Amino acid sequence: MGTGTRGLIATAVTVVCAVTVLAVPGTAFAAPDPTATAPTSSAPAPASSAPAAASPSPAADKDLEAVRAKLDKLYHDAAVATDSYNAAQEKADKQSAAIVELARKIVKGQQKLDRLKKRAGAAAAAQYRTGGLPDEARLLLSDDPQEFLDGADRTLQGERAARGLIGELTRTQQDLAQYAEDASARWKGLEANRKAKDAARKKIKEQISAAEKLEARLAKREKERLAKLEEDAAFKAQTAWLDSGVLDEIKGKASAQGRKAVAYATAQIGKPYEWGAEGPDTYDCSGLTSQAWADAGHAIPRTSQEQWKQLRHIDVKDMRPGDLVIYFHDATHVGMYIGDGAIVHAPRPGRTVTITGAGSMPILGVVRPDA
């Protein structure tokens, strides 16, 4: 792809006006929010296109850069806590399902134990009716030795059956004891994850609240300038990524499932970010990607960190639409590659699902759900 084409794509992605993606042939997706997600870079932004007299002073920009860096940290910490919350929720869901299954096993086991006890009781009653006499006494009292031998054989069979019954009773009781122990352990795990969720929820609210208060202290003009600085930083990072020539090497075609996942994700454009949300009205970053792939018929881990850990890693030059781009050193953000150097993602609180440059944030790596 030529330099001119790359520049055109970089501009289109950054201002997020109308990016055609490899989802449904002939369909263009336009993001409603032109503000790109803020990267962690604090490099000075390009000069504003506003008249010189209206441009803020370098000192004012420096102050706003400090604010932007602080906001980035607060929202990053909120993203870390969100991943912890989502991971705890996922574990809690699995533990709840396991407890339900154990409860079913306990009920069935108890029913089986009751039936076995009834059989054991019937066997004991039968033995009582025979008087429980020893074999020698029954032989002496019998008028027909052959009848005695036949009866002795049946008695041996009955004894073997009784031993089998006792063994089955013992195993069933042991199984019930193990089910109860497993259920107790699951309950303890469930309680631990509930506490982890509560702690993560508290952390998320604290970080988001602090960020909102920080932004609320800015005047309207400062907010506009801050948004421009964010946009400039994203543009700079994306341009540097494209200028490396990486897009010339990315030629992968989406799989059938990948196209379906991209179609789902891009259809959510404009919906608000909400931590812990998996749709259909709001999403967090990994909620969007996990639901998109679930819609494509392929379940993947819920959190960006687990997506990074569990899914197959792909070289950036080999990525194709539908692959997931993982961001930041701790894998706390994820977007879905849609082609032409762009991703669709749920950025952060206060933003909506949108399209931005794949290189506008620090890339940790790429993973492929349907490898």
Hey, which residues are catalytic here? 285, 333, 345
Q: What dihedral angle (degrees, nearest 10) is formed by the CA atoms of 9, 14, 20, 23? A: 120
Alpha-carbon distance of 289 to 294, in angstroms, equals: 9
β-strands 363-368, 312-314: how paired?
Answer: antiparallel
* Phi, psi at 20, each rounded to 5°: -85, 130
Q: First-to-last CA distance in the chain?
A: 26
Cα–Cα distance, 343 to 335 (Å, whole number) = 6
| Nearest-angstrom CA–CA distance, 133 and 144 | 17
Encode 105-166 in three state secondary structure.
HHHHHHHHHHHHHHHHHHHHHHHHHCCCCCHHHHHHHCCCHHHHHHHHHHHHHHHHHHHHHH
Angle of CA points 311, 336, 295, to nearest 5°: 80
Cβ atoms of 179 and 109 within 8 Å: the answer is yes
Quote the CA–CA distance of 67 and 38 in Å, as a whole number: 12
